[in-house]
């Protein structure tokens, strides 16, 4: 799930996953971080989900995927669309 907070020239996008599904550490990787695993790692939230917030430039489409332990790559079904094998978010 994606949550957005619009700012003047950027959008804070919070990527949200259920706690423990998939198990182990998960990071969001994409065009905004050079596809660098571990740059944006999900952290637990009090409501039982895990999340990470990334400030992204406004009015841009960003491709991303999630990377879990064991080299397990997966997409966000609630994303704004797809770009090949990747999920997309529009800011």
Sketch the domain layout of the chain as residue ranges.
2-84
Predicted confidence at residue 59, as pLDDT, reads 92
Return the closest-CA partner of residue 58 out of 2, 6, 15, 16: 6
pLDDT in tens, 8-52: 899 999 999 998 889 999 999 999 999 999 999 999 999 999 999
Instruction: Say what percent of the chain tops pLDDT 70.
Output: 100
Predicted confidence at residue 21, as pLDDT, reads 85
Residues making up the chain, counted from first to last: 91
Could you tell me if 54 and 91 are in contact, meaning their C-beta atoms sit under 8 angstroms apart? no
Report whether pLDDT(2) > 90. yes
* Residues 90, 56: Cα–Cα separation, whole Å: 10
DSSP code for 31: G
Predicted confidence at residue 69, as pLDDT, reads 92
Predicted confidence at residue 20, as pLDDT, reads 81
Could you tell me if 51 and 43 are in contact, meaning their C-beta atoms sit under 8 angstroms apart? yes
Instruction: Answer whether CATH 2.50.20 is correct for domain 2-84.
Output: no
């Amino acid at each position: 799930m994606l949550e957005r907070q619009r700012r003047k020239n950027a959008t804070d996008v919070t990527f949200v996953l259920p706690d423990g599904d998939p198990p182990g550490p998960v990071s969001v990787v994409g065009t905004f971080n050079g596809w660098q695993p571990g740059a944006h790692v999900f952290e637990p939230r009090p409501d039982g989900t895990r999340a990470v917030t990334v400030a992204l430039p406004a009015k841009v489409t960003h491709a991303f995927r999630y990377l879990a332990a064991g080299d397990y790559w997966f997409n966000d079904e609630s994303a704004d669309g797809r770009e090949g094998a990747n999920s997309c978010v529009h800011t």
